[in-house]
Amino acid sequence: MKSKREIIKDCAARLFRKKGYKATSMRDIAQEVGMEAASLYNHISSKQEIFQELLLNMARLFTEGMEEIDGSSHKSIIKLEKLISMHVRFAIEHTDSISLITNEWVHLDEEPLREFTSLRDQYEKQFENIIKQCIEDGDFSPVDPEIALFSILSTLRWLYSWYSKQKNINPVELEKEMIHCLVDGLRNK
Amino acid sequence: MKSKREIIKDCAARLFRKKGYKATSMRDIAQEVGMEAASLYNHISSKQEIFQELLLNMARLFTEGMEEIDGSSHKSIIKLEKLISMHVRFAIEHTDSISLITNEWVHLDEEPLREFTSLRDQYEKQFENIIKQCIEDGDFSPVDPEIALFSILSTLRWLYSWYSKQKNINPVELEKEMIHCLVDGLRNK
């Protein structure tokens, strides 16, 4: 069973996504959870506290996933495919929190903002290094690694939003199709 | 030489992009243009007026480009490559206006909003039909056309933002690399 704190986090994430962090009040969160605003303060001290927890937990999940994949003995192209699968899974499982990473992170307070951008920058650097390694291995054609990184990440970043509007899409099928679009390309060869 | 109205439009687009439509005042626009707020009203009646003009002009440019490309006698895969090139060119030439299409269009008044979303939906439908035709022609492998459309458009939509941060990228090279990433794929075959 979910703890009260988990329920509060889920409700807050849903509201931050729908209304934006700034427009969401403690009162809104209390109403969504179904408790009095005064009681909510027994569980969390501010909306920034819960916002930080949502964003930094999500950033750490990505970092842990990257460490596990990048630390494995797989070839770089397999690592890249596993990263794409991870993004698809996270977009499906953590749709609300992921939306905050794409849109709302600028509202973090100074210190958590520093931690967040540092995790993100490190993540993107590792992602780019894996792309470079795919080129060195001869598995990728010689493309500009920065353009390839931008192209892949801009699609993966918006996946949560696109996915929420789909009704009948199989997650396993979606992983396969995303790898196909982003790695193999559309052209028949 | 640019007309006064063109100069006002450029300044407004820059501000709407930087501060957002809502946070930009007529006074801000006047200051950016270098005139008194009172004089600005001799040229435009409201910020919504200039905002509509920027967004609908941009949407119509895309629609005209689509009509020209889709009406040509080229094979669908060539049409798709030409569409990608058009997006790259527009992102470079109209960076500020394009950003409004990605982020700020929700602030349009009711009637222009209807026109804008109708142009956008029609554009995306035509884009998807071209992808379907590429699959039918055997030039694309059998991918889910909706996923392919999402993947291509999410990258093209954010190109303006990524491009603005690059210093030394050749536009012709960028067109080639984008077609490579989005159509050919990264994998060496």
- Residue A184 DSSP class: I
Residues 6 or more apart whose Cβ sits within 8 Å of residue B120: B59, B101
Which residue in the set B143, B177, B182 is minimally distant from A177, CB to CB?
B143
Fold of A47-184: Tetracycline Repressor; domain 2 (1.10.357)
Predicted complex: ipTM over 0.85? yes
Structure confidence at residue B19 (pLDDT)? 93
Residues of chain B with pLDDT under 70: none
Checking if the pLDDT of A187 tops 90, the result is: no
**Residues B157, B158, B163, CA angle at the centre, nearest 5°?**
125
Mean pLDDT in residue range A118-129: 97
Domain ranges of chain A: 47-184
Task: Kindly report the number of other CB atoms within 10 A of residue A64's CB atom.
Answer: 10
**Residues A10-32: pLDDT tens digits?**
999 999 999 999 999 999 999 99
More confident residue, A168 or A149: A149
Structure confidence at residue A2 (pLDDT)? 83
**What are the helix and strand counts (H, E) for chain B?**
9, 0
Structure confidence at residue B69 (pLDDT)? 98
Q: Do A150 and B140 touch (CB under 8 A)?
A: no
Task: Identify the band that residue A109 occupies on the pLDDT scale cut at 50, 70 and 90.
Answer: very high
* Separation between Cα atoms, residue B171 and residue B78, nearest integer Å: 19
* Separation between Cα atoms, residue B55 and residue B62, nearest integer Å: 11
Tally A–B CB contacts below 8 A: 102
Structure confidence at residue A166 (pLDDT)? 85
| CB < 8 Å to A185, chain B | 182-187
Structure tokens at A12: 């807050």
Which residue in the set A140, A146, A174 is minimally distant from B186, CB to CB?
A140
A158, A102 Cβ separation under 8 angstroms: yes
A63, A22 Cβ separation under 8 angstroms: no
Checking if the pLDDT of A167 tops 90, the result is: no
CATH-assigned architecture of domain B46-184: Orthogonal Bundle (1.10)
DSSP line for B66-108: HHHHHTSSS-HHHHHHHHHHHHHHHHHHSHHHHHHHHHTGGGS
Which residue in the set A148, A150, A182 is minimally distant from B151, CB to CB?
A182
Structure confidence at residue B120 (pLDDT)? 97
Find the residue in B nearest to A185 (Cα). B185
* Separation between Cα atoms, residue A153 and residue A155, nearest integer Å: 5
Provide the angle, in degrees to the nearest 10, between the axes of the packed helices B145-165 and A171-179.
50
**Closest of A5, A3, A29, A4 to residue A18, by C-alpha:** A29
Find the residue in A nearest to B148 (Cα). A181
Collapsing DSSP states into helix, strand and coil, what is residue B46?
coil
Q: Do A183 and B184 touch (CB under 8 A)?
A: no
Find the residue in B nearest to A149 (Cα). B181
Which residue in the set A143, A181, A189 is minimally distant from B180, CB to CB?
A143
Structure confidence at residue A93 (pLDDT)? 93
* Separation between Cα atoms, residue B101 and residue B87, nearest integer Å: 12
Share of chain A above pLDDT 90, in %: 87
Q: Give the mean pLDDT of chain A.
A: 94
Structure confidence at residue B182 (pLDDT)? 93
Structure confidence at residue B168 (pLDDT)? 81
* Separation between Cα atoms, residue A94 and residue A97, nearest integer Å: 6
Task: Identify the band that residue A100 occupies on the pLDDT scale cut at 50, 70 and 90.
Answer: very high
